[in-house]
């Protein structure tokens, strides 16, 4: 039995939506994109949404719209996908890293406060809701009020997650989402910037469209980061299915929590603090021992699993010189202990049982 780590939640509805666009003869950015933007903004609870070609371009465009330029310091986590930091560098900015909380994998607010006290002229903070779990937004917003930085939420893995009843993506000046095929919802490839600011939204719309708001009139240097109507048509269907898919992910996570609870402390299941609703983009275990051996054991048995992420960002070759002599002990420890196992909404009961039984049998050896 092969059990993939991730599997897009696609059906006939998406196929029909794409065929409808193909039959229309209009494939570029058009009415489907406009409708997707309106529906996604309404879902998140913000006024504006701007569809882009990828989650990375969404981060980049948001940072550009927020004015990040040469030498500007932006604080974020070293324990995430590289796009969070590379978007800062692509704007000419300087990533400043802050260690993470061991239980939530997200920015440690106490560490963030120390970084803000130490670093001068921090322009912004990117809060990454890693694995689908919201950051401690109350603590981050309190620091934002005190230190005056802009807040950009990286929601690439957190579509539909919430903090005290409010969707992630609606807390900061801006937020960026990814619709890569492994995400909780997909457009094949694509992204979205969301904001309550009409001014920031207008800047984003120009940036993704060659710096233009009127065809062939280019007011600023821009880029071609537009989403197609084909992608948006898929996204509109996926958005309708998102709540169902997320609920199934939570069900699967609860199953694992119960099935693996007695393996603690050798195997620690994910923690969801009170007031937060995770969407379990990944279900990530913390192992006290034998992480690599378990990974090999599961893969050999046909179970997809992965380490997210094996190299913290401050150790990536193109960033090392920017953050020389920095150490982030929690992130550096987690890279050797985390393991993500299948939690996607298409898992069947017997597949969940197989994964849990294999993990239990491994530690019984």
Q: Which CATH architecture has domain 243-364?
A: Alpha-Beta Complex (3.90)
Instruction: pLDDT band for 28, please (50, 70, 90 cuts).
Output: confident
Whether the pLDDT of residue 325 is over 80: the answer is no
| Residue 84, φ and ψ in degrees, nearest 5 | -60, -45
Mean pLDDT of 56-64: 98
The candidate with the shortest Cα–Cα distance to 241, out of 5, 10, 4, is 10
How far apart, in whole angstroms, are the C-alpha atoms of residue 260 and residue 248?
18
Whether the pLDDT of residue 324 is over 80: the answer is no
Instruction: pLDDT band for 25, please (50, 70, 90 cuts).
Output: confident
Instruction: pLDDT band for 323, please (50, 70, 90 cuts).
Output: confident
Q: Which fold has domain 12-98+107-238?
A: 3.40.640
Whether the pLDDT of residue 42 is over 70: the answer is yes
Check for a shared fold between 12-98+107-238 and 243-364: no
Mean pLDDT of 47-59: 98
How far apart, in whole angstroms, are the C-alpha atoms of residue 80 and residue 176?
14
pLDDT tens for each residue of 168-183: 999 999 999 999 999 9
How far apart, in whole angstroms, are the C-alpha atoms of residue 55 and residue 107?
20
Which pLDDT belongs to residue 30? Answer: 87
Whether the pLDDT of residue 285 is over 80: the answer is yes
Alpha helices in 71-157 (DSSP H): 83-90, 109-118, 137-147
Full-model pTM:
0.96
Q: What whole-number percentage of the chain has pLDDT above 70?
A: 100
Query: What average pLDDT does the structure give for the chain?
Result: 96
The candidate with the shortest Cα–Cα distance to 279, out of 156, 138, 152, 103, is 156
Q: What whole-number percentage of the chain has pLDDT above 90?
A: 94
DSSP letter string, 48-95 = EEEEES-HHHHHHHHHHHTT--TT-EEEE-SSS-THHHHHHHHTT-EE
Lookup result for tokens 């379990």: 280
Whether the pLDDT of residue 55 is over 80: the answer is yes
Which pLDDT belongs to residue 1? Answer: 79
The candidate with the shortest Cα–Cα distance to 201, out of 320, 62, 362, 44, is 62
Which pLDDT belongs to residue 365? Answer: 62
Whether the pLDDT of residue 57 is over 70: the answer is yes
pLDDT tens for each residue of 229-280: 999 999 999 999 999 999 999 999 999 999 999 999 999 999 999 999 999 9
Q: Where are the domains of the chain?
A: 12-98+107-238, 243-364
Which pLDDT belongs to residue 195? Answer: 98
Mean pLDDT of 78-99: 98
Which pLDDT belongs to residue 292? Answer: 98
Whether the pLDDT of residue 67 is over 70: the answer is yes
């Amino acid at each position: 039995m092969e059990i993939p780590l991730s599997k897009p939640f696609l059906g006939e509805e998406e196929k029909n939506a794409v065929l409808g666009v193909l039959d229309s003869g209009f494939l570029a950015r058009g009415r489907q994109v406009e409708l997707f933007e309106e529906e996604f903004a309404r879902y998140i609870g913000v006024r504006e949404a701007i569809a882009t070609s990828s989650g990375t371009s969404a981060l980049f465009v948001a940072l550009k719209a927020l004015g990040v330029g040469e030498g500007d310091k932006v604080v974020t986590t070293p324990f995430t996908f590289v796009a969070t930091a590379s978007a800062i560098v692509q704007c000419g900015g300087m990533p400043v890293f802050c260690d993470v909380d061991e239980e939530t994998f997200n920015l440690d607010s106490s560490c963030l406060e120390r970084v803000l006290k130490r670093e001068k002229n921090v322009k912004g903070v990117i809060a990454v809701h890693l694995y689908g779990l919201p950051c401690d937004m109350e603590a981050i917003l309190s620091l934002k009020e005190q230190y005056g930085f802009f807040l950009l939420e990286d929601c690439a893995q957190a579509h539909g997650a919430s903090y005290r009843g409010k969707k992630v993506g609606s807390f900061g000046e801006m937020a960026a989402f990814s619709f890569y095929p492994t995400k909780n919802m997909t457009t094949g490839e694509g992204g979205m910037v969301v904001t309550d600011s009409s001014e920031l939204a207008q800047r984003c719309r120009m940036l993704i469209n060659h710096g233009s708001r009127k065809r062939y009139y280019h007011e600023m240097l821009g880029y071609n980061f537009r989403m197609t109507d084909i992608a948006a048509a898929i996204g509109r269907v996926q958005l309708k299915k998102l709540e169902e898919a997320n609920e199934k992910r939570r069900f699967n996570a609860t199953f694992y929590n119960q099935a693996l609870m007695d393996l603690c402390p050798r195997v620690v299941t994910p923690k969801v603090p009170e007031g937060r609703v995770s969407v379990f983009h990944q279900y990530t275990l913390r192992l006290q021992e034998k992480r690599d051996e378990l990974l090999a054991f599961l893969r050999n048995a046909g179970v997809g699993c992965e380490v997210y992420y094996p190299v913290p960002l401050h150790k990536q070759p193109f960033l090392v010189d920017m953050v020389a002599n920095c150490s982030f002990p929690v992130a550096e420890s987690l890279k050797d202990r985390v393991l993500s196992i299948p939690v996607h909404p298409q898992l069947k009961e017997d597949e969940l049982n197989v994964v849990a039984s294999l993990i239990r049998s491994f530690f019984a050896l």
